[in-house]
Structure 1
Amino acid sequence: MNARRLLLALHWSLLAVLVAGVVVAGAWRLGGGRWERVETASMGTVAPVNTLLWVEPVDAASLRVGDFVTFHPPGHDEVSYSHRIAAVHPDGTFETQGEITAPDPWRLSADDLVGRVVMRWYGVGWLVVAAPVLLAGGLLVWLVVASLRDRSWRLPVAIVGTALVLSVAIVVHRPLVRAQQLGFGEVPGGARATYVSTGLAPVRLQAHRGPHVDLRDGEVGSVLITHRDHEGRYGISMSPRIPPWWWIVLVAACFLPSLASLARPGPRIGAHALDRSLRAAR
Structure 2
Amino acid sequence: MTENTAATSRRTVAALTALAAAAILAALVAAVFLLSGSRLFIVTTPSMATAAPVGTLVVAQPQSAYHVGDVITFTVDGRVVTHRIHAETGGVITTKGDLNGSPDGWQLTASDVVGKAVALVPGAGWILRALPWLLAGICLTEVVILAGRARRDWAWNLRLLGWSASIALVSYVLRPWVGVQLLDFRADDARTGVLMHLVNTGLYPFRAEGTVLHAGQDAVVHTTQRLASGAYYVTPTAELSLGMRLAILLACLVPLFIALMRRQQPALFADAARPAAIATVRRGMRGGVVALSVIVTILLVVAITVSGSGAAFAAGISNTGSVGSNAAFSCADAVNLPTAGATAGSLVAGFAMNTVSGNSRNETNLVDGGKGPKGQWAVPTTIAATAGCARDQPAASVTFDGAQQCLFAPVNVNNPTTFSIEAWFRTATKGNGRIIGFGDAKASAVDTAADRMVYLDPAGRIVFGVAPGGTTTTVATTARFADDTWHHVVATLSSAGMALYVDGTLSASNPSVTSARAQNGYWKIGCGTITGWPDGAGAAYPNPPSHFTGQLEFAAIYSTALTAADVRTHYLAGR
If the length of structure 1 is used for normalisation, what is the TM-score? 0.76
Please tell me whether Structure 1 or Structure 2 has the larger radius of gyration of its CA atoms. 2
- Tell me whether 1:125 sits opposite 2:128 in the alignment: no
Cα offset for 1:188?
1.9
Cα offset for 1:233?
2.3
Cα offset for 1:20?
5.8
Q: 2:43 touches 2:57 (CA, 8 Å); kept in 1?
A: yes
Cα offset for 1:196?
0.6
Q: Which residue of 1 aligns with 2:447?
A: none
- Give the alignment of 1:196-275 within 5 angstroms: 196-205=199-208, 211-253=209-251, 254-255=253-254, 258=257
- Tell me whether 1:48 sits opposite 2:53 in the alignment: yes
Structure 1 letter corresponding to 2:44: E
Taking the aligned partners of 1:94 and 1:131, their CA distance within structure 2 comes to 35
Taking the aligned partners of 1:195 and 1:163, their CA distance within structure 2 comes to 32
Q: Which residue of 2 aligns with 1:99?
A: 98
| Structure 2 unaligned residues grouped into runs of 5+ | 1-14, 266-575
Taking the aligned partners of 2:263 and 2:231, their CA distance within structure 1 comes to 62
Taking the aligned partners of 1:43 and 1:63, their CA distance within structure 2 comes to 18
Give 3-state SS (helix, strand or coil) of 2:235's partner.
strand
Cα offset for 1:103?
0.7
- Give the alignment of 1:1-282 within 5 angstroms: 22-59=27-64, 62-73=65-76, 76=77, 78-89=78-89, 91-101=90-100, 102-146=102-146, 147-189=148-190, 190-205=193-208, 211-253=209-251, 254-255=253-254, 258=257
Question: How many correspondences in the alignment?
Answer: 245
Cα 1:230–1:260 change in 2 (3 A) is closer
Higher helix share: 1
Cα offset for 1:29?
1.5
Percentage of pairs with the same residue: 31
Task: Kindly indicate whether structure 1 or structure 2 has the higher relative contact order, using CA contacts under 8 Å at least 6 residues apart.
Answer: 1
Q: Which residue of 2 aligns with 1:5?
A: none
| Structure 1 unaligned residues grouped into runs of 5+ | 1-10, 206-210, 268-282
Cα 1:234–1:169 change in 2 (3 A) is same
Cα offset for 1:164?
0.9
Cα 1:165–1:266 change in 2 (3 A) is closer
Cα 1:175–1:187 change in 2 (3 A) is same
If the length of structure 2 is used for normalisation, what is the TM-score? 0.39
Cα offset for 1:80?
1.3
Taking the aligned partners of 1:237 and 1:217, their CA distance within structure 2 comes to 17
Q: 2:70 touches 2:84 (CA, 8 Å); kept in 1?
A: yes
Cα 1:227–1:247 change in 2 (3 A) is closer
Cα 1:35–1:138 change in 2 (3 A) is same
* Deviation digits for residues 158-217 of structure 1 (CA, Å, limit 9, x no counterpart): 111111111111122222221111110012232200111111222222xxxxx3322121
Cα offset for 1:106?
2.4
Cα 1:252–1:191 change in 2 (3 A) is closer
Taking the aligned partners of 1:19 and 1:229, their CA distance within structure 2 comes to 55
Give 3-state SS (helix, strand or coil) of 1:28's partner.
helix
Q: 2:88 touches 2:94 (CA, 8 Å); kept in 1?
A: yes
Taking the aligned partners of 1:47 and 1:155, their CA distance within structure 2 comes to 39
Structure 2 letter corresponding to 1:97: K
Using the TM superposition, name which of 177-186 and 115-124 deviates more: 115-124
Cα offset for 1:228?
3.3
Q: Which residue of 2 aligns with 1:273?
A: none
* Deviation digits for residues 63-86 of structure 1 (CA, Å, limit 9, x no counterpart): 22111111123xx3x211111111
Cα 1:260–1:230 change in 2 (3 A) is closer
Give 3-state SS (helix, strand or coil) of 1:80's partner.
strand
Structure 1 letter corresponding to 2:85: I
Cα offset for 1:23?
3.2
Q: CA RMSD in A?
A: 3.0
Taking the aligned partners of 2:19 and 2:136, their CA distance within structure 1 comes to 21
Taking the aligned partners of 1:40 and 1:34, their CA distance within structure 2 comes to 18
Cα offset for 1:227?
4.5
Q: Which residue of 1 aligns with 2:460?
A: none
